Structure 1
């Protein structure tokens, strides 16, 4: 999905109003409905029963979006109140129209026009399950001032007991640079309006924006198609759905791809088993695992649907390079994943090099298969098949002989340069995962949460990715879909349970459900 600056979004709004005769009041109502829908999805995911929802609104258009959303939620039967960081008589224009409609709908309004009012509110405010931040939007500039500062501090102080949803962007965040110029709301979810803003995808913003959703406010497609936009894109569900065609009724397991996963070692059976189960749970027709003889019972027991082949192993318990017999070894498979639990010995390096040399089907190089290539990135460019690499920043730095801090300073630039050098599709993991491929703008993923920083999470991503490749999805599209769905699974688990208690197994079990986001059946 295209990403726009504040000025570009303002121009799209203007043209929609003037050329397509859509009143600003209507755009604001659509924004409110989009926020209402996002809050409802969050409530459904968490399982809250009769949650209290508190909107913290400013006097401008962001506040107007909040008034519209509060009315829609009230009309849907929710307990809603609005706290205004201003006097009601300071609200003007379309925002005032929606404030009046909101009050007529029976939503309680509390005015807190002074910073000191928000300090007092800390002492008497009752608990609420969800807070919606509509204090400041793209029209503000510079650090938050006056009652807006108090409102932002209130939201952050109460976020330990309430989930926080920000409208368009977290209040106080610069919409173009992503910089925190003063006090900034730390959101769990940001519902950005129309199109994502450039600031949301900048590395400086990632600590504040949470998971980013996009609310459609009816900007005409022809305006978006011809708009001057940022050089990066946001991975969004609307761009992924057409990559997942409806399955034919007259089909069989062979139609949905044959996956081969190469990995595992004595003491590291879990990684390859989780990758296999993720591939099974994400639609692959057949999944085969090549793993050392000594751990076959463990892997087979952990993924009953997979066909597990025991292979020769070294004295250390890792796969012996002789298991790969040349190009004919890959003849029966649609896509291959190598790396989970492979370990980093000389035999692993020789095995990875042989697979890169001979493979003719899409190949995912992950985990230890990346580590053994440290300093040998150019070997990837010699592959005669589509290759996707999935390094975290440490693996990326070792592979390309760069410091981790240097990589993290410009993740998009680093991923793009790596894609050019290796001719691979590059998935640079971490908060704001970047997918880069030659000739395409880098795409940033903003699903997922800190609970996914747990052992095995990357193995699940690898299994999901190779499954999508085996089903015939193009490498860049498969990578974008995989990181989005992987993060989405993590978000749903975290909402329903907790970030602290999230495990890789939870992600695997959630995959069949998040696939409904892209495929109805």
Structure 2
């Protein structure tokens, strides 16, 4: 292991780089600079309170700026009148009333519908009710939404938790059923701003005008599916106000950490990846992982395969070396783990699991290999399945571990129903990372990369082209290559997510999203890794949920 220690002196078992000069997370648990901070509800409340109490910015002034920005977002999307603003009775109602006032000042026809009697409004919301010119708010009724050119949802704010109760639930259903475009105020009503969970009725917005900065719940499913385009409205929160410390969007800045290949380097020092997997009938997965690793920059890739499938995989590959290992029942024999450990002594990263199979021998081999290997591993597919309900087995590893499950795999790892993971993606990813003391990458358009300490990096979005067989194996190969090249594991995993999304978007533009296969994604990797200068510009990656700023 002397070679490994010399090559990667800054890598810790959990991927928490100590140095801040290269953009890594510091030892105090703050977010790396290449993550664009996303606020939880409590973090946003703290920033508001600091600005109001410590910097003496009146809360009424913050509300004015929020409502002004909301009005602009509504005006841009309403090409005719009337615009209907639906309000509750909290601060969101005040934002909605400011919005209605500015739209009326511009000559727009605006109707305000209130779920509660106006006298129930208080504080800044009551002040803005008194400032509203023209007609007073009318009681909410479903039929009053008919003919609306646009509906502004100002019912519930970021502080709301749990399923909306009456009369909110019925109003949300009516708004969704109206058929009109919907702009949400700060967060779609019914979406949890901190988790993205949707425990009951929730508005399905076409756009969300969110204040100061974006919220976690706008980027994590199922909440992300309700957000539409996310537009950030600058409202004047103090620059030195408390900042988010737990979640952030993966930004293009992470690409700067990809180490260039030295002219004096050689194949072993530019990334040595070992792919361990394959079994009878499952030979494509390790081949795809190996191809992706080399396209992603690994200088040398070997595959450890059961003897009976070595020739099958070898026939598909040219630059990668295939090694035959003892087998049992068509897959790896657990007795070969010792040989695997000897082989891994010079390896930068091991991709363990693609095509391994689910026999008893495969499960025993995967568990023994994960426990014994002294180098970073990316655990995928059947390597994950071998640890179903036994995540704690991975917690004793001393080298970095990256888990790459989809929702079904994560459900099996946690021994819960898949619907539980689907409804609580953020919580589930964090739980797996904590129990395994590993990085947990939960796949999806909102791919989540969770650390054991609760910090989470979130993908701004990928491409539907990636929803095809084999692209998960490609992602595994990319992560392994980046780690083997010396990137800190968290940064390597996040940049792999970004490059994978870029490559998928580029392949979709070339072939159409319905026609992309995993090999097409591999073909696009060089340009995707190179960045915006290639054919897959970052704007394609973010899609409608990557926040754009409205000052």
Deviations for 1:449-508, whole angstroms, at most 9, x for unmatched residues? Answer: 555333212211211111111121222332233334434444555566555444333332
Q: Quote the residue 2:450 is aligned against.
A: 436
Q: Quote the residue 1:308 is aligned against.
A: 321
Q: Quote the residue 1:46 is aligned against.
A: none
Q: CA contact under 8 A between 2:204 and 2:225: conserved in structure 1?
A: no
Task: Provide the C-alpha distance between the structure 2 equivalents of 1:197 and 1:383, rounded to a whole number of angstroms.
Answer: 34
Q: Quote the residue 2:330 is aligned against.
A: 317
Instruction: Answer yes or no: is 1:3 the counterpart of 2:29.
Output: no
SS at match of 1:515: helix
Q: Quote the residue 1:206 is aligned against.
A: 224
Instruction: Answer yes or no: is 1:381 the counterpart of 2:381.
Output: no
The match for 1:196 among 214, 231, 249 is: 214
SS at match of 2:524: helix
Compared CA separation, residues 350 and 483, structure 1 to 2 (3 A): same
Q: CA contact under 8 A between 2:333 and 2:362: conserved in structure 1?
A: yes
1:157-176 counterparts in 2 under 5 A?
175=193
- Which consecutive unaligned segments of at least 5 residues does structure 2 have? 1-36, 86-95, 113-141, 161-167, 538-551
The match for 2:520 among 491, 496, 506 is: 506
Task: Provide the C-alpha distance between the structure 2 equivalents of 1:66 and 1:119, rounded to a whole number of angstroms.
Answer: 18
- After TM superposition, the score normalised by the length of structure 2 is 0.64
1:70-469 counterparts in 2 under 5 A?
82-83=79-80, 85-86=82-83, 135-136=152-153, 149=175, 153-155=179-181, 175=193, 178=196, 179=198, 184-185=203-204, 194-201=212-219, 203-209=221-227, 222-223=239-240, 226-227=242-243, 229=244, 232-237=246-251, 240-245=254-259, 248=262, 250-296=264-310, 298-304=312-318, 306-312=319-325, 314=327, 316-324=329-337, 325-430=339-444, 432-448=446-462, 451-469=465-483
Compared CA separation, residues 180 and 412, structure 1 to 2 (3 A): closer
Task: Provide the C-alpha distance between the structure 2 equivalents of 1:419 and 1:203, rounded to a whole number of angstroms.
Answer: 19
SS at match of 1:153: coil
Task: Provide the C-alpha distance between the structure 2 equivalents of 1:194 and 1:492, rounded to a whole number of angstroms.
Answer: 32
- Which consecutive unaligned segments of at least 5 residues does structure 1 have? 29-58, 71-79, 104-108, 123-132, 157-164
Offset of residue 11 of structure 1: 6.0
Q: Quote the residue 1:61 is aligned against.
A: 69
Task: Provide the C-alpha distance between the structure 1 equivalents of 2:238 and 2:507, rounded to a whole number of angstroms.
Answer: 34
Deviations for 1:254-313, whole angstroms, at most 9, x for unmatched residues? Answer: 443111111122221211111112212222222222224444455345444x41314135
Task: Provide the C-alpha distance between the structure 2 equivalents of 1:17 and 1:144, rounded to a whole number of angstroms.
Answer: 40
Compared CA separation, residues 4 and 395, structure 1 to 2 (3 A): closer
Offset of residue 367 of structure 1: 0.8
Offset of residue 426 of structure 1: 2.1
Task: Provide the C-alpha distance between the structure 1 equivalents of 2:55 and 2:171, rounded to a whole number of angstroms.
Answer: 30
SS at match of 1:223: coil
Offset of residue 364 of structure 1: 1.2
Task: Provide the C-alpha distance between the structure 2 equivalents of 1:431 and 1:460, rounded to a whole number of angstroms.
Answer: 16
Compared CA separation, residues 85 and 97, structure 1 to 2 (3 A): closer
Task: Provide the C-alpha distance between the structure 1 equivalents of 2:364 and 2:358, rounded to a whole number of angstroms.
Answer: 10
Task: Provide the C-alpha distance between the structure 1 equivalents of 2:523 and 2:54, rounded to a whole number of angstroms.
Answer: 43
- How many matched pairs? 446
Q: CA contact under 8 A between 2:156 and 2:189: conserved in structure 1?
A: no
Q: Quote the residue 2:17 is aligned against.
A: none
Offset of residue 66 of structure 1: 5.8
SS at match of 2:346: coil
Compared CA separation, residues 299 and 16, structure 1 to 2 (3 A): farther
Per residue, is there more helix in 1 or in 2?
Answer: 1
Task: Provide the C-alpha distance between the structure 1 equivalents of 2:514 and 2:295, rounded to a whole number of angstroms.
Answer: 24
- After TM superposition, the score normalised by the length of structure 1 is 0.67
Compared CA separation, residues 413 and 199, structure 1 to 2 (3 A): closer
Task: Provide the C-alpha distance between the structure 1 equivalents of 2:180 and 2:458, rounded to a whole number of angstroms.
Answer: 30
Q: Quote the residue 2:545 is aligned against.
A: none
SS at match of 1:420: helix
Q: Quote the residue 1:479 is aligned against.
A: 493
Compared CA separation, residues 426 and 482, structure 1 to 2 (3 A): same
Task: Provide the C-alpha distance between the structure 1 equivalents of 2:266 and 2:78, rounded to a whole number of angstroms.
Answer: 54
Deviations for 1:127-151, whole angstroms, at most 9, x for unmatched residues? Answer: xxxxxx99457987957979x9489
Q: CA contact under 8 A between 1:284 and 1:467: conserved in structure 2?
A: yes
